[in-house]
Amino acid sequence: MNDSAFPRPSGTHRNPSIGLDPVDIEALVDARHPDPFSRLGMHSTSAGHVVRTLLPGAAHVAVVERASGALLGQLSEIAAGGLFAGFVERAVPYRLRIDWHGVEQEIEDTYSFGPVLDEDALQRLARSDPYAVIQCLGARPCTQDGIPGVRFAVWAPNARRVSVVGEFNAWDGRRHPMRLRHVAGVWELFVPRLSAGATYKYEIIARDGHTLPLKADPCAMQTERTPATASVVADVERIEHFRWTDGAWIANRGSLQTPDAPMSIYEVHPESWLRIDEAGHRGLNWSELAERLIPYALDMGFTHVEFLPIAEHPFGGSWGYQPLSPFAPSARFGPPEGFAEFVNRAHEAGLGVILDWVSAHFPNDAHGLAAFDGTPLYEHADPREGYHQDWNTMIYNLGRNEVSAFLIASALAWLLRYHVDGLRVDAVASMLYRDYSRAEGQWVPNIYGGRENLEAIAFLKRVNHEVGYAPGVPGAITIAEESTAWPGVTARVEDGGLGFNFKWNMGWMHDTLHYMQEDPVYRRYHHHNMTFGMVYAYSERFVLPLSHDEVVHGKGSLLGKMPGDRWQRFANLRAYFGFMWTHPGKKLLFMGGEFAQDTEFDHDGSPRWHLIDDPMHRGVQLLVRDLNRLYAAEPALHALDSEPGGFEWLVGDDSANSVFAYRRCDGAGREVAVVCNFTPVPRHGYRIGMQRAGPWHEIVNTDADIYGGSNVGNGGVAVTENVASHGKPQSLLLTLPPLATIVLRAN
């Protein structure tokens, strides 16, 4: 800014206030000036070069040459509140030498640096380019004019003023007001000599003049550990230039996550998977989780671990489903690079990593996204669209391009920065319908008068398109938690679908659990609950979930849902797992279920690992391990998972005996037969028609004594007889164990 237009003062006296009128001075002192860079820093005036700086609390300020340290001039306080100004000998790069009443500091002047975002970046942000959000917004250590520091940038288009505050400026919003780049509605600032590890927030004055509660950075890559709420300047170099050694996994990942690949997912709440009682009942950090969780999941035969949301969230009781920093791995588990190290080690060991990702809503904590710049910026203004009654959260305004880009950037950042293999998108049903969980008159129709959320549909399609085609994330997948009959969830975007790779089969989960909770004597009346899933099994590509949602809020554990005495409850659960692992669809099991956890999920506790010492619990764990290994090794159980030719009912109508039998095949000559007896009555001489003649080996029997069963079975092998049955030319005469599933493989 050249102040030469201001008149030269009369006489020889040089007034350091030259170029400032009382309105400027008042606005600067109150940190409400619309353009502080136009007045602060070094400026050329008719009387010479003047330096102005706002340093509330400083006693004296001098200006020294950056290169030599030579004194260039002394500044005087020209207005109460810390506004200093003075003339300097020459216009050269300089530093401020500040006397804080006995403590001296020498530092470059923030207001001596030019803009930090170039015009191309601003135009990309204005066009809502998610890659520009990743690259430009947030806090990044960088070098400006040869000086190290941190670049801050935040989207707040309706704010009157935004300042970055932290311990480095005593959380004083007057010290570092930011520069508004109007074209993108982004405020930016370079703070010299600041480095990774600094805590910060944004102090925002709304357009009506009131100061908002300090806001955390929406794009922060790191945060303080809860209950603290500040953002942290992340060591971006250690995150974005992490030394990955998982190239072989990434190159092969696409073949490991296809519809014809075996995928068995271990769902984990990382904070409570294993707590250390000797250390204050704390959860494990990423390094400890890598040491314990990765080998455990692999030994159990799981192909993937899926974490409940790990993005920073203030309330642990939300299990991560109310995140406020969707770019930052939670500080509960250590620094962000620790998560990168976990993923790298998982990939080296052959284990995939999926994250739950939340794009439907966010909490209304004062330091978060709600009314971020004093207006409904990220959320809808109308509570009928912007407030979620069920969860007391705010709903993203996905029709706003900048919000959509922000969330897409979050999705891509997890895949690009941390090599995550897939995102399970939470609460998709609540996004698709404008009347989700709302009574008549409490929701706003779309532009055509319908209930479909057109903006959310477009957003989900774009997310899936970006993940599917983004360079640098080959083979990454998306999975929808969607509980309705919305068509085409896993159909390609090009074909009119939403574009997800897989969908949780919530209907299968609810139907089959309802069946299993019935006393066996009544199961004959609910037989259809076990067969109905095959009516629509190929309408989408499914994951069969037994998730955390089924073992919380008074629903009890999986074991607790099973009827009968203790032996029967375990037998029911084992038989159910046998049915699930042989049914078409990928598998997902929440932690603790693999050893028949006997209480429901408690995020403040841990799975009751000591139960493994009990033979019955240990037996269930061994069964899940063996089922996982069989599922991965036997192509008939996964190769045609999404094609009708991979499944055939052998016996689907024997409701009187609660028996189900079906065959699975891989289309290349390999096949298995599965028989489930969901009553406590052993059935001897049960005939089942078979197409293939010869011996059939009993490769799994959930009633085996090693699993805690009664060891009723077929002696390891059964041979077909030349007796037609069930429309087949051959048949097997089998012994069906009580409350059990057996798996037979053709020789």
Pull the structure tokens for residue 697: 């080996």
Q: Cα–Cα distances in Å, from 451 out to 40, 252, 482? A: 53, 41, 16
Yes or no: say if 516 and 572 are a contact pair by the CB < 8 Å rule. Answer: yes
Distance CA 89, CA 111 (A): 18
CA angle, 152 then 157 then 162, to 5°: 45
Pull the structure tokens for residue 324: 């406020």
Distance CA 236, CA 142 (A): 9
Entry field: residues in the chain: 747
590 strand-pairing partners = 267
Distance CA 503, CA 545 (A): 10
Distance CA 459, CA 452 (A): 13
Q: How many CB atoms lie within 10 A of CB 210?
A: 10
Could you tell me where the beta strands, DSSP code E, fall in 610-679?
A: 647-654, 659-665, 671-677
Active site residue 337: no
Yes or no: say if 620 and 593 are a contact pair by the CB < 8 Å rule. Answer: no
Catalytic residue among 24, 235, 481, 634: 481
CA angle, 564 then 568 then 574, to 5°: 130
Yes or no: say if 711 and 704 are a contact pair by the CB < 8 Å rule. Answer: yes
Sheet holding 659-665, edge to edge: 647-654, 659-665, 671-677, 740-746, 695-701, 717-719
Active site residue 481: yes
Q: How many CB atoms lie within 10 A of CB 383?
A: 14
- Phi and psi, residue 484, nearest 5°: -110, -175
Yes or no: say if 283 and 591 are a contact pair by the CB < 8 Å rule. Answer: no
Taken in order 705, 709, 715, 717, the sign of the CA dihedral is negative
Catalytic residue among 337, 421, 426, 594: 426
Distance CA 411, CA 466 (A): 9
Distance CA 138, CA 151 (A): 8
Q: Give the distance from CA 364 to its chain's centroid.
A: 18
CA angle, 347 then 350 then 353, to 5°: 55
Specify the 3-state DSSP secondary structure of 42: strand
> Which residue in this structure is represented by tokens 């159980």?
637
Residue from 486, 437, 454, 383 nearest 445 by CA: 454
> Which residue in this structure is represented by tokens 């007391």?
392
- For the annotated catalytic residues, the residue numbers are 426, 481
